[in-house]
Structure 1
Amino acid sequence: MRAASVLPLLALGLLPLTACRPQEVRPPEAYALSGTIAGDWGQSPRLRLALVGTGVPVAVTNTSTIDQNIVSTGVNSWAYGFDLPTIPSVAGVYQVIVFDDSNNNARFDAGEAFARNRQWLVFSPLDANLDAISIPEYLGGAEVLPAMSVKRGWNLYDKTQPLGSGNPSHFEKLSTYVLSR
């Protein structure tokens, strides 16, 4: 067999390895959602982010396999970036939480230390007026979101602010999602 005819075979053999390469790690601000993490997480925490929430009609989400990057910025301080799904499987209301993945299984499990905020990420496949949504108790607590108007895509609802003009707000990139213990 001549060398010229072996090269294409070698190139085909490398394709599976190239396809299995991990995603490129980007700086936190390059992700769709970014912000800061603060607080005392103990010695050598294994911090990880997860998207948790519930969709309509009742599809529970708890996934930490979404692309993310957490970078230490000092004592008890980190910057992070997290990619929100571009087309979630269902409309619904979600939060990104940070947790100490103490068993290192890349999944948020009951009993692991975690932090969340009072900002909800509401996804809608269309501009819509949504009915009130209840959050299951085991996802952090029986909070109920009021009926609201949202735009197609991702919207941020800040529960600490009055519902109305600018709350919820539509976004494509959000850099102020703060998580703290």
Structure 2
Amino acid sequence: MRSLLPAALLLPLILAACGQQEVKAPADYALSGTIGGDWGASPRLRLALVGTGVPVAVTNDSGIAQNVVSTGVNMWQYGFDLPGIPGVAGVYQVVAFDDANNDARLTLGETVARNRLWLIFSPAAGTFGPLDLPESWPGGGELLPQMTVSRGWNVYDRSVALGDGNPRSVGKITNYDISR
């Protein structure tokens, strides 16, 4: 009986480790916003972190914890967990896509939408860029100008001139809205 006791105590821990990740409300994730627009009938909307790092490290990761919730016709709220430290300095975006083949991966040919906000990760404060993105990346070839960033995640709004507050250092990112 004594030899079964340690196994019996470990069983709940083993089962808990095998369980699914907790699904949170969209606003409880590190990055949140809305997805809008016409995605067709019954889309399977997912999100992916895409980008490029320095030195060359292309990211297309849709396996990050996320939650997409319909809030009406052609409107969804979502939450997405940004990695704590992506490993390299880089320029990223969270994109929405219709996972047409239901493989939980952003695949060439699937409908994609993004916005004009770039997520810049820097392991140290200082000057970042300039940077050309690979042509194969959605929206690739665009030049990111040289800018001053803080350590960690920064948001650069491409629709606003560089300067005070652009880019800005962020912890939690809200209103990262994406539309088709």
- Fold in common (TM above 0.5): yes
Alignment-derived partner of residue 129 in structure 2: 131
Superimposed CA distance per residue, residues 122-180 of structure 1 (whole angstroms, 9 cap, x where no aligned partner): 00001011120111111122111100000000000000000111100110001110100
Superposition map of 1:68-83 within 5 A: 68-83=66-81
Superposition map of 1:2-17 within 5 A: 6-17=4-15
Counterpart of 1:15, as a letter, is L
Residues 1:105 and 2:109 aligned together = no
Question: Aligned equivalents of 1:134 and 1:16: distance in 2?
Answer: 46
Alignment-derived partner of residue 149 in structure 1: 148
1:118, distance to aligned residue in structure 2 (A): 1.1
Question: Aligned equivalents of 2:28 and 2:172: distance in 1?
Answer: 9
1:7, distance to aligned residue in structure 2 (A): 4.0
Alignment-derived partner of residue 39 in structure 2: 41
1:25, distance to aligned residue in structure 2 (A): 0.6
In the alignment, structure 1 segments of 5+ residues that lack a partner are none
Please give the secondary structure, in 2, of the residue aligned with 1:12.
Answer: helix
1:12, distance to aligned residue in structure 2 (A): 2.0
Question: Aligned equivalents of 1:143 and 1:119: distance in 2?
Answer: 13
Q: CA RMSD in A?
A: 1.2
Alignment-derived partner of residue 162 in structure 1: 161
1:5, distance to aligned residue in structure 2 (A): 6.0
Superposition map of 1:46-57 within 5 A: 46-57=44-55
Counterpart of 1:82, as a letter, is F
Question: Aligned equivalents of 1:120 and 1:20: distance in 2?
Answer: 34
Alignment-derived partner of residue 118 in structure 1: 116
Structure 1 length normalisation: TM-score?
0.95
Q: Identity percentage over the alignment?
A: 61
Please give the secondary structure, in 1, of the residue aligned with 2:8.
Answer: helix
Give aligned pairs, total. Answer: 179
Please give the secondary structure, in 2, of the residue aligned with 1:8.
Answer: helix
Alignment-derived partner of residue 21 in structure 1: 19
> Larger deviation: 130-139 or 167-176?
130-139
Question: Aligned equivalents of 2:49 and 2:57: distance in 1?
Answer: 13
In the alignment, structure 2 segments of 5+ residues that lack a partner are none
Please give the secondary structure, in 1, of the residue aligned with 2:27.
Answer: helix
Alignment-derived partner of residue 178 in structure 2: 179
Question: Aligned equivalents of 1:121 and 1:52: distance in 2?
Answer: 10
Question: Aligned equivalents of 1:138 and 1:176: distance in 2?
Answer: 27
1:40, distance to aligned residue in structure 2 (A): 0.7
Residues 1:89 and 2:87 aligned together = yes
Question: Aligned equivalents of 1:31 and 1:87: distance in 2?
Answer: 16
Please give the secondary structure, in 2, of the residue aligned with 1:23.
Answer: coil
